Amino acid sequence: MIILKKILFWFLLILSVNQVIILTRFNGAFYVKGLIGIVLTLFYFFYNFNPRTTEYPAEKLTKLSACYDILQASAVVFSVQALIYLSIITIYPIHWVIFLTNFAVSLLLCYFLVINGLIRSFTISRQIGLLLRIALLSFWWMPFFNSIFSTFAAVKIKQELIFDNQKYVLNQKRKEKQVCKTKYPIVMVHGIFFRDWEIFNYWGRIPEALEDNGAQIFYGEHESSIPVEQAAIQIRDKILSILAQTGANKVNIIAHSKGGIDSRYAISVLGLAPYVASLTTINSPHYGSDLAGRVLSMTPEKIVTKIGNKYSNIFMRLGDTQCDFVESIKELTPERCGQLNRKMTDSPDVYYQSVGSSLKSRRSASFPLNLGYALIKPIAGDNDGLVATKSMQWGNFLGILRPKGKIGISHSDMIDLSRKNIKGFDVMEFYVQMLSELKEKGY
C-alpha cells in the first residue's frame, strides 16, 4: 500500500512539474484547464510541506520519514524528467515556446524539490557524513548527479529511520521496567579538551537513551584542560552539590578518558570514596597514553607552548576560568600516570569497573585518531586512536569492544561524539545494558 501511494505521489509530481505541456495539449474547456492547473500546483506545494507517506509515533521519526520521501521523490522526478525531454527531442517534438516554458517551469520546481530535500536532510539527519554533505551541496544543481547523491542520502536516512524506530520500539516496550533506574544517581565525567556544554553534549545520544530508561543523569562540569588534582577537586565539589540537591548519599560515576583518572583521584586522595558507589571508566589511560609521550617528545617545546597558549585563550573565552594545556598532557604520559597510580589507592568501598575499545586499522577513523593509531600501534599494540588497550584496564574489566567488520571502535565512538551509527555496535544500548547491570548489582 505504501509503495502504491509513493508511486501515485511521484506520478502527480511529474504531472505537476510538466503542467505547461499537459495544459497546452489538453483540449478541454478553459476553466477545466485552470482547475487542473490549480489542483496540480496545490498538490505540488502540499507534498513539499507534508511529504510523508508513513506515520510514526515519534515526531523525529516522522520527520526522518518525510525527509526520506522528499529525497527519493526528487531523485525519481529528476530522472524521469530527463527521459521526458529525451522523448520530446527525439520522438514527440513540440513547439519551441511550449518546450522552453515547460523546461523553465519544470526545472524550477524540480530544483525546489531538491533544495527541500537538502534542507531537511541537513537539519534532521545525523547519519549523512561530511563527504556526502559536500557532494550534495556541490551537485544539487546538476541533473543526474543530484539524483545519484540524493539516492545515496535517501539510503542513509532510511537506515537511520529503521535504526531509530527499532530503538524507539525497544524503549517503549521496556519503559515500565526502568532498567536504568539505578539506586544512586549517575554522574558522567568528560575527558580532556572538552566541556559539558548544553548546546553540544559530549556524550552524544547516550544520556537521552539512559534517561528514557529511567536513569537520573548529572555531569561533572569540570574544566577542559587542567591537571588531575584540580579537575578532581571540581568533580568532588560537583558531586557533593549533586548529593545535596538530590538527597542521595552516593553516586555512580561513569568517566571517559582522562575523566577516569580525575575521578579516581577524587575518590582515593580527596576523600570522595564514602560518596561513590561505583566508578566505571571508559577508555581511560590508567597506565598512561603512549601517544601523549610520543607527541611531547617529537614536538619542540616552543611549539607545544604556543599551541597550549592558543588553546587556553580559546577555552578561557568559552568559559574556562583556568587552563593548563601542557601540564594536562604531561600528566597522561606513562611515567606521570605511574606516579599517580602509586598515590591513588583504590577504596574497598567503591566498585571499580572498566571497558575499552580498539580500532582495526588507521583507516577505521578520521584525523587525528587515524594518526594516533599509527603512532601507538608499533610501540603499544592495539589502541583506540589515543589510548592503548592494555592501559584501559582497571578493576573489574569488562573487555575490549571489537565489533565485526573492518572499522573497529575509536576513542570518540565510545561516547557517541560523532552521533554516527556503527554496524555491529549500538553505543546507546551498550550504556543501557551497563547501567542495567549496575542496577542489578544494587548500585
Please tell me the distance from the alpha carbon of residue 360 to that of residue 410, in angstroms, as a whole number: 9
66-75, 249-258, 397-406, range with the lowest pLDDT:
397-406
pLDDT for the residue 126: 93
> Tens digit of pLDDT for each residue in 52-70?
778 898 999 999 999 999 9
> Tens digit of pLDDT for each residue in 94-129?
888 988 999 999 999 999 999 999 999 999 999 999
pLDDT for the residue 305: 85
pLDDT for the residue 295: 82
Residue 37 pLDDT grade (very low, low, confident, very high; cuts 50, 70, 90) = very high
383 near 413, Cβ under 8 Å? no
70-79, 83-92, 268-277, 391-400, range with the lowest pLDDT:
83-92
Whether residue 369 is predicted with pLDDT greater than 80 in this model: the reply is yes
pLDDT for the residue 30: 85
User: Where does 106-250 show beta strands of DSSP type E?
Assistant: 186-189, 217-219
Whether residue 278 is predicted with pLDDT greater than 90 in this model: the reply is yes
Whether residue 90 is predicted with pLDDT greater than 80 in this model: the reply is no
pLDDT for the residue 210: 98
Residue 323 pLDDT grade (very low, low, confident, very high; cuts 50, 70, 90) = confident
Whether residue 387 is predicted with pLDDT greater than 90 in this model: the reply is yes
Residue 1 pLDDT grade (very low, low, confident, very high; cuts 50, 70, 90) = confident
Residue 93 pLDDT grade (very low, low, confident, very high; cuts 50, 70, 90) = confident
Q: What is the DSSP letter of 441?
A: T
Please tell me the distance from the alpha carbon of residue 208 to that of residue 429, in angstroms, as a whole number: 11
Output the pTM of the full model.
0.90
Whether residue 442 is predicted with pLDDT greater than 90 in this model: the reply is yes
Specify the higher pLDDT residue, 93 or 432: 432
Specify the higher pLDDT residue, 26 or 217: 217
pLDDT for the residue 319: 76
| Strand, helix or coil for residue 93 | coil
The 3-state DSSP composition of the chain as helix, strand, coil percent (nearest 5) reads: 60, 10, 30
Percent of the chain clearing pLDDT 90 (strictly above): 79
pLDDT for the residue 26: 83
pLDDT for the residue 420: 93
21-25, 139-143, 147-151, 293-297, range with the lowest pLDDT:
293-297
pLDDT for the residue 365: 87
pLDDT for the residue 71: 96
As a whole number, the mean pLDDT across the chain is 94
Whether residue 158 is predicted with pLDDT greater than 80 in this model: the reply is yes
Whether residue 320 is predicted with pLDDT greater than 80 in this model: the reply is no
The sign of the dihedral angle between the CA atoms of 379, 383, 384, 390 is negative
Residue 309 pLDDT grade (very low, low, confident, very high; cuts 50, 70, 90) = confident
- What residue ranges do the domains of the chain occupy? 2-169, 178-440
> Tens digit of pLDDT for each residue in 242-274?
999 999 999 999 999 999 999 999 999 999 999
- Residue whose grid cell is 525531454: 85
Specify the higher pLDDT residue, 322 or 50: 50
State the burial class of residue 72 (Cβ atoms within 10 Å of its Cβ: 0-12, 13-18, 19+). Answer: buried
Whether residue 302 is predicted with pLDDT greater than 90 in this model: the reply is no
Residues 178-440, CATH architecture: 3-Layer(aba) Sandwich (3.40)
For the residues 89-93, what does the mean pLDDT come to?
A: 76
For the residues 195-220, what does the mean pLDDT come to?
A: 95
Residue closest to 436 by CA, chosen among 164, 166, 58, 171: 171
Whether residue 293 is predicted with pLDDT greater than 90 in this model: the reply is no
Please tell me the distance from the alpha carbon of residue 228 to that of residue 262, in angstroms, as a whole number: 5
pLDDT for the residue 298: 84
Q: Using DSSP, how many helices (H) and how many strands (E) does the chain show? A: 16, 6
Residue 154 backbone class (left: φ over 0; alpha: ψ -120 to 50; beta: rest): alpha
Percent of the chain clearing pLDDT 70 (strictly above): 100
290 near 334, Cβ under 8 Å? yes
For the residues 149-153, what does the mean pLDDT come to?
A: 96
For the residues 322-336, what does the mean pLDDT come to?
A: 91
285 near 358, Cβ under 8 Å? no
pLDDT for the residue 27: 83
Please tell me the distance from the alpha carbon of residue 391 to that of residue 379, in angstroms, as a whole number: 13
